[in-house]
């Protein structure tokens, strides 16, 4: 059973930074693509960043140049460094992976950016 546990969310002023962490267990972590998604109130969940097992990175246009995704396979952990945060980045952030065709999600961590 794959389990994902996010941490690192919080309240920050616009222009500030946060680093989210997602610890994975029960998975073949190093072989999996890992992603960060977010969902703001009244909006659909959207992909923020993805790091493939090959190391290939993908970012939503809205966060390019501000957010950086990385992974530490030895620690089974994926990170999302968020800089120059904006109020529109306010959302619940979820860690995601897929294994054998099944999507797995963490419980989410709230990020609130005040103006």
Nearest in space to 12 (alpha carbons), one of 78, 109, 105: 109
Please count the CA atoms within 13 angstroms of the CA of 78 that sit on its side-chain side.
30
Say which DSSP state 30 is in: G
What average pLDDT does the segment 80-93 reach? 98
What is the total residue count of the chain?
Answer: 115
pLDDT digits (tens, 9 = 90+) for 46-68: 999 999 999 999 999 999 999 99
Structure-block tokens of residue 68: 């950086």
End-to-end Cα separation, the chain, in angstroms: 40
What average pLDDT does the segment 78-103 reach? 96
């Amino acid at each position: 059973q794959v389990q994902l546990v996010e941490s690192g969310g919080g309240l920050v002023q616009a222009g500030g930074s946060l680093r989210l962490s997602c610890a994975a267990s029960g998975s073949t972590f190093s072989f999996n693509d890992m992603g960060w998604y977010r969902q703001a109130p009244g909006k659909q969940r959207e992909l923020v960043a993805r790091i493939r097992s090959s190391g290939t990175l993908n970012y939503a246009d809205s966060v390019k140049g501000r957010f950086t995704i990385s992974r530490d396979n030895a620690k089974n952990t994926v990170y999302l460094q968020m800089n120059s945060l904006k109020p529109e980045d306010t959302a619940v952030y979820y860690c995601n992976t897929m294994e054998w065709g099944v999507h797995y999600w963490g419980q989410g961590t709230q990020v609130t950016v005040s103006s």
